[in-house]
Amino acid sequence: MQSLFSVFCNEEVGPQAREQVLLIVLNCLRMVSWADGYNPEVVEAALGDTFKTWMAILLQTIQSNPRAYFDIKKNALKCLTVVFRDLWNYSRECINLILKPAWKLLNNHLPVYTEVVAYGQPIEGMRLEDDDEVVEIERGYESDDAEDSYGVEGMTLQLLELLTTLVQRHSVHEVVRVGIIPLIATVASFMAIPASREHPS
């Protein structure tokens, strides 16, 4: 996991490579999740040295530019979903770290989702500050899974899955109860009919 972290943080590594690194991290988390609650020593041996570091980078990733790198964020959200759903016991102490970033992402992502999915407006390519390469940020990189959604829609689905996972935690119930009205209002806004379905070509 430490080697993967070094690759992910390498400035010479591009978005596609970072996306693939997160898929490997995702598989590593899945491989040890069976031991959560049964054999905590296995989980600690596999994740203990780098878990806090990876949590910090995953949270930083989902809070980056809201109009770019949707597939990297989608994979980061997949990792966080496994952490809080399948590593239920191991992640108990860091549950408070995800609540504010997840809520912030939900609200920051809504205008992008509305623009791209609901109204069918493309996000134009973004030119990197220190590179002449034009990066297509609406679609991102296709997943190896042919049925997997990508881009804005794929990230949205994964964000909602993470939120569904979080609200099942008993420690989150009080937070949800206090903020239930704005939460429902925001989530309901993601139910807008996509332009492609409203006016099929």
Provide φ and ψ at 126, rounded to 5°: -110, 130
Question: How do residues 143-186 score in pLDDT, each as one tens digit?
Answer: 445 567 889 999 999 999 999 999 999 889 888 888 888 889 99
**Residue extents of the structural domains in the chain:** 2-194
Per the structure block, which two tokens stand in for 161? Answer: 């899955």
Question: pTM of the full predicted structure?
Answer: 0.85
Question: How do residues 99-119 score in pLDDT, each as one tens digit?
Answer: 999 999 999 999 999 999 888
Q: Would you give the DSSP letter of residue 119?
A: S
Q: Of 60, 59, 64, 108, nearest to 80 (Cα)?
A: 59
- Residue pointed to by tokens 């596609």: 16
Per the structure block, which two tokens stand in for 21? Answer: 């690194």
Provide φ and ψ at 106, rounded to 5°: -55, -45
Beta strands in the chain, from DSSP E residues, in sequence order: 126-127, 134-135
